[in-house]
A = this chain, B = another copy of it.
């Protein structure tokens, strides 16, 4: 057994079942080990941003890490933007990055680079294996680190000789610590605050936004009148009919400030105080009122769901939560835009669907409509680095093959990592990709005014995707994913219904 085999077998033994990869020469022994060790599914991406975005989507839904296998520093570098998003989502991921053989590093060959340097800004744990005999144990530490609540990114750097040299055998998985439950004094203190008659809200994240957490939050709301809020971009939220609904803090700072203006006490449940996404000249980044008091019920690494349940009990809240959404499907109207698309989608959405949202300006209308659709999971762009949607759809579909994944993408965001379509086709993944083709970086046209910049023709052309027009149908088909273009609400409905009734990847270009 060589180091690579001991690694793959150990990972598999620790519950890592999927490896998203774009390998190179230094990873060939790992690739060969995939055949000799059962229990690890390998999924090829044609670009590393696909690999890491898929690992993020997988981790968010499977609630355990996938491995990535990346080729040296540049391979890791290509995956960093979506690792940034994953870090902001607290997704567990184990990156395996091949490196030159230990003795080769000194020669500064062309592909040599500072892999640790590239990895550091996105990794909570980094280690370089120094011997094939240690790779298996190193991998187990990497897995354990990635599973530390609420989820982290581990990067294990694997010199080629540690893959090809003989190893002793696999290593056993390390125990994974359960998330901490906040102590009773913390819960009592928050209860005391909520019993008062000041205006209060709970800001929910992590497991607080899953069905059981929401249910407990809804009981608290029923008892105390507290508002239930979530960030603009939570990693994952369960939504739809029968689920307790929460208010999403608006993206634009002035709207967010207005929304939070009446809050005296803000209880943080796995979340941090709300701040604006960007700064704007002369405007505050801090969104809550200056005299708002913060109360931490659960830090991000603590068990938000249990904390909410205990808080509800301490408050003697009713067993029945307040604020469940009920099924309500509005007619979409005649104009094809994100709102009508959202309503059509809400009407057809299968129960248990996974909505992956990289839709930028177009995502908002869809989000609004889906709140009263069948229950589903909604996954957001947590780190602001666009280009995660199509890859994340790969990962969610791999994690949940029996649930339909719907990807919302802009045409701008989709072009960052469109190679994900090829992997969707290759793996026959059950994904419907909706690409909103507004032929611009629409969000930047808004932001340009909001930061007080005055664009001329040249500046405006930097935000335009009109020349040449992108043909998403052709692009998608070129990578093996059947596609169509919708220019009316009726056409979109027909195409979506057909896509939802068929298994396998599809793409619909929505002309808005």
Contacts and interface: CB of A to CB of B under 8 A. Distances in A.
Interface of A: 21, 23-26, 28-29, 31-32, 34-36, 42, 44, 46-47, 49, 72-75, 77-78, 80-81, 84-85, 88, 100-101, 103-104, 107-111, 113-114, 117-118, 120-122, 160-161, 164, 233, 272, 275-279, 281, 285-286, 382-385, 387, 412, 415-416, 418-419, 422, 425-426, 443-444, 447-448, 451-459, 461-463, 465, 467-475, 477-480
Given A109-B275, A114-B120, A32 B78 contact: no
Contacts of A416: 46-47, 78, 419
7 contacts: A35-B456, A35-B459, A77-B84, A109-B384, A160-B278, A415-B422, A470-B478
Contacts of A80: 74, 77-78, 80, 118
Contacts of A468: 422, 425-426, 479-480
A478 B473 CA distance: 8
Given A78-B416, A385-B74, A469 B474 contact: no
Contact of A279 (B110, B120, B160, B473): B160
A88 to B, nearest CB: 5
Which of A110, A160, A473, A480 is packed against the most chain B CB atoms within 10 Å? Answer: A110
Contacts of A382: 110
Contacts of A108: 272, 275
A78 B81 CA distance: 6
Contacts of A286: 107
Contacts of A42: 458, 461-462
A101 B280 CA distance: 8
A120 B116 CA distance: 11
A233 B111 CA distance: 12
Which of A21, A44, A49, A453 is packed against the most chain B CB atoms within 10 Å? Answer: A453
B121 A73 contact: yes
B415 A465 contact: no
A23 B444 contact: yes
Contacts of A21: 462
B459 A25 contact: no
Which of A28, A422, A425, A474 is packed against the most chain B CB atoms within 10 Å? Answer: A28
Given A46-B415, A279-B104, A74 B81 contact: yes
A447 B32 CA distance: 12
A447 B71 CA distance: 14
Contact of A32 (B32, B122, B459, B475): B459
Given A111-B277, A452-B164, A478 B467 contact: no
A349 to B, nearest CB: 27
B84 A73 contact: yes
A-B complex: 4 closest residue pairs judged by Cβ atoms: A468-B480, A35-B456, A74-B385, A104-B279
Given A24-B444, A46-B465, A455-B31, A276 B474 contact: no
Contact of A383 (B74, B117, B272, B419): B74
Nearest to A381: B110
Nearest to A38: B458
Nearest to A412: B46
A104 B278 contact: yes
Given A109-B384, A473-B478, 6 more contacts: A24-B447, A28-B448, A31-B463, A46-B412, A80-B118, A113-B122
A493 B124 CA distance: 54
A127 to B, nearest CB: 17
Contacts of A104: 275-276, 278-279, 285
Which of A73, A77, A418 is packed against the most chain B CB atoms within 10 Å? Answer: A77
Contact of A275 (B107, B444, B447): B107
B28 A233 contact: no
A218 to B, nearest CB: 27
A451 B104 CA distance: 14
A416 B46 CA distance: 7
B84 A447 contact: no
A288 to B, nearest CB: 12
Contact of A447 (B25, B75, B426, B477): B25
A451 B28 contact: yes
Contacts of A422: 415, 468, 470
B161 A74 contact: no
Contacts of A34: 456, 458-459, 462
B110 A31 contact: no
